[in-house]
A and B are shown apart, each in its own frame.
Chain A
Amino acid sequence: MNRINQKLKEDKKLLSIYFTAGYPSLGDTVPIIENLEKHGVDLIEIGLPFSDPLADGPTIQESSTKALKNGMGTALLFEQLKDIRKTVSIPLIIMGYFNPIFQYGVEEFCKQCNSIGIDGLILPDLPLDVYEAEYRSIFEKYGLVNIFLITPQTSEIRIRQIDEASNGFIYMVSSASTTGAQEGFGKEQQAYFERIAAMGLKNPQIVGFGISNATTFQQATANAKGAIIGSAFIKDLTANGPAGIGNFVKRIR
């Protein structure tokens, strides 16, 4: 069984952390992953940086620009991760935009992911219909879980379609926004979390966007399986570097 599906069976709220590969320094990728696991993080999303990350707010944009300047790229990321399964056993997901993967070759990319031990992909700008028509069979061949996003504006019919096409979890975007930390969730967002929880979807949901601290983590996971922290973690890395990871995780739970 895929590590993501195994992890989702555990009886706990999952903490998932996103970071941009190659940030703050080119060589930080593996130490960050190892440190996150050591401090009890359940799932890691490794961001493949892109020049034009249009779903991201300023924090992740800046980290991507810096990572590319540092020299991060697809082949280098695979090179850095080639022995990662010798030291890390939690699920690893690559999150990126579709163009770099399209240039690398989707099948070759998936094959590399499989050989390294990557468990899933989040590609926000690969739409559902194109995935189903052209790429689903490749993802399945290499045992990769594809994770789709839903938002407060996503219609019920489409949520059901996405649930049907998913085989891991659904990435629930907390609000109509690009990525970025928020202080708290309002009534509207709580109602949305409850509405989705009541739908009885076959895939668990993990909430992302706007989660930055213990309060938002608890609010987000009251009705969902877990939550993803990205921008707030990147900000912490900027300030404290990989050495601050233990303290950061402690502040969340």
Chain B
Amino acid sequence: MKYQANESGYYGEFGGAFIPEMLYPNTEELRLNYLRIMEEPSFKKEFDQLLKDYVGRPTPLYYANRLSEKYNTKIYLKREDLCHTGAHKVNNTIGQILMAKKLGKNRIIAETGAGQHGVATATVCALMGIPCVVYMGEIDIQRQAPNVARMKMLGAEVRPALSGSRTLKDATNEAIRDWINNPVDTHYIIGSVVGPHPYPDMVAKFQSVISAEIKTQLLEKEGTENPDYVVACVGGGSNAAGAYYHYLEDPEVGIIAVEAAGRGIDSGESAATSALGKVGIIHGSKTLLMQTSDGQITEPYSISAGLDYPGVGPMHAHLYRSGRGEFISITDDEAMQAGLLVSKLEGIIPAIESSHAFAIFKNRKFKPEDIVVVNLSGRGDKDLQTYIDYFEL
């Protein structure tokens, strides 16, 4: 249990619940109940059933032949891009909507940056017939019109966050404010392994189905549950938390976290939190975050909307500080080129977030016999316009 949350929600020195008293009853209700509810047979049954029949799990573990040949190592792709709604995000929203029902909540709120988590939340709310409000930065609403339309079709109300820098961190602030104003009937579905305890642990547990499946699938294909490395991109870090989860305490499995360097670590336009962040408090969690010397939270940048969060989940901050995880940062250009390469070699267009994970192979060398599992967290359909603009397609 060195790398999992303790019962106060700390991963080493990171985590906890730094929340105003107005939120205490909300998070306390969740903290006291989430583990018990997740263990209930009726909950497990419904969760597993929906993941299978609705999301389409298990997602394949695919041996990427041509990519492996190119980089002279054995590369497997965990195909989260094949999940319903196009990314791993829905694993968490299915879990949390069932949690909300068990807690007797009849209204859902969520934050979203690029709109992927918003769509995944709107989807499960439609599935369950529960009203849904998604907060989204005014600037993100302008640049992610298709996802805004999807959420509306799914019956969600999209409310613009007009405060601060009007992007993901402000959408998160607005969702938290909504929860302060509606403490009794509302459940807040956070989209990543961030926020106050118990969110990072709860979201990681819902996403842990990813590594549970990798174990079974790898045993079938390679005769071992354990790869040599698991690679995932990290913004807040939910797909990574899920891909690492069952390997955290197995030191023979290397953990590689890939962050977005944006236009370069030193460019002033980056989202590489481990390299640029300092310990602080963001959205109720003590973690590494990008901030001024005065403790004001700064706006990150990445070409990938899913990676431009100024903080990182406390689990990942601990993996970084303890040395358990190897952290690599990848620029916009490197990620875009890797996305194009995977498309051409494997016939799979990855989300730009996931393209960051593929970009490590150019410089990070592996042995020919190494088994490297890359979590392909989402598909690239949502990023087509960015790819078009970048490559002038």
Write the residues of chain A forming the contact surface with B, with a CB cutoff of 8 angstroms: 50-58, 61-62, 65, 68, 73-75, 97-104, 124-127, 130, 148-151, 153-155, 158, 173, 176-178
Contact = CB atoms under 8 A, between A and B. Distances in A.
A149 B180 contact: no
A122 to B, nearest CB: 10
B181 interface: yes
Nearest to A173: B22
Contacts of A151: 21-22, 24-25, 183
B180 A58 contact: no
A153 to B, nearest CB: 4
Contact of B25 (A73, A104, A124, A155): A155
A130 B294 CA distance: 22
Interface string B2-34: 000000000000001111111011000000000
B177 A178 contact: yes
A74 B17 CA distance: 24
A139 B20 CA distance: 19
A154 B21 contact: yes
B182 A100 contact: no
A158 B27 CA distance: 14
B296 A173 contact: no
How big is the B interface, by class?
35 or more
Closest 7 CB pairs of A and B: A103-B295, A100-B295, A124-B20, A149-B21, A51-B296, A153-B25, A55-B20
A55 B180 contact: yes
A189 B163 CA distance: 28
A75 B294 CA distance: 8
A149 B180 CA distance: 13
A99 B21 contact: no
Given A61-B164, A102-B279, A173-B21, 5 more contacts: A51-B297, A125-B281, A127-B16, A148-B21, A149-B22
Given A54-B177, A178-B180, A65 B24 contact: no
Nearest to A209: B22
Contact of A176 (B17, B22, B282): B22
Contacts of B25: 151, 153-155
B173 A52 contact: yes
Contacts of B182: 176
Contacts of A124: 20-22
